[in-house]
Amino acid sequence: MIGALWWEGQHSPWSPNFDAQPLNEKVVGATSGPVFQGGKLFHDKGCLNCHLIQGFGGRRGPELTYIADKLTRDNLVIRIVNGGTNMPAFGSSLKPGELDDLVAFLETRKRPIRPQDQAKETASSATSTFK
């Protein structure tokens, strides 16, 4: 982390990825509805130029692959509307419906429960049943 900050300090502080391609269906996880629209807006509004989702996008801002594990819906809205250090505020450039769709999309960005963890949970509840 310190290395990355140093690198940014020594080199261009502005390194968005202007070639970011729209996110594919598999990454977005929906083919219609608000999550789908939000995934599309995430590209069209330029979020993807600065943010990585599952390895796609840019590295100007923090990776957002699992952002819903960290930020609540309200915090997502606040950040998008107000921007931040080196992030533009989108409050005036998004229609209310667009903001809702973007947030719906970001709310699905959670770390999945891994199959082995699920198995473990089942195994431990089974153990407690037979204690």
Give the residue with the Cβ less far from ligand HEC, 16 or 22.
16
User: What is the distance in angstroms between the CA of the first residue and the CA of the last residue of the chain?
Assistant: 46
Q: Pick from 76, 101, 104, 109: which binds ligand HEC (CB under 6 A)?
A: 76
Cβ contact 24:30 at 8 Å: no
Q: Pick from 21, 72, 82, 86: which binds ligand HEC (CB under 6 A)?
A: 86
- Of 4-12, 28-36, 57-65, 109-117, the window that binds ligand HEC (rule: CB under 6 A) is 57-65
* Total of chain residues touching ligand HEC, rule CB under 6 A: 24
Long-range contacts of 76-82 (CB under 8 A, 24+ apart): 76/103, 76/106, 76/107, 77/103
Which of 79, 129, 73, 127 minimizes the C-alpha distance to 103?
Answer: 73
Neighbours of 71 (CB within 10 A): 17
Cβ contact 58:87 at 8 Å: no
In the complex, the smallest distance separating the C-beta of residue 68 from ligand HEC, rounded to whole angstroms, is 9
Interacting positions 29-48 with ligand HEC (CB under 6 A): 45-47
Report the residue number whose CB is nearest to ligand HEC: 61
Binding site for ligand HEC (CB under 6 A): 16, 45-47, 49-51, 60-62, 64, 67, 70-71, 76, 79-80, 84-88, 90, 102
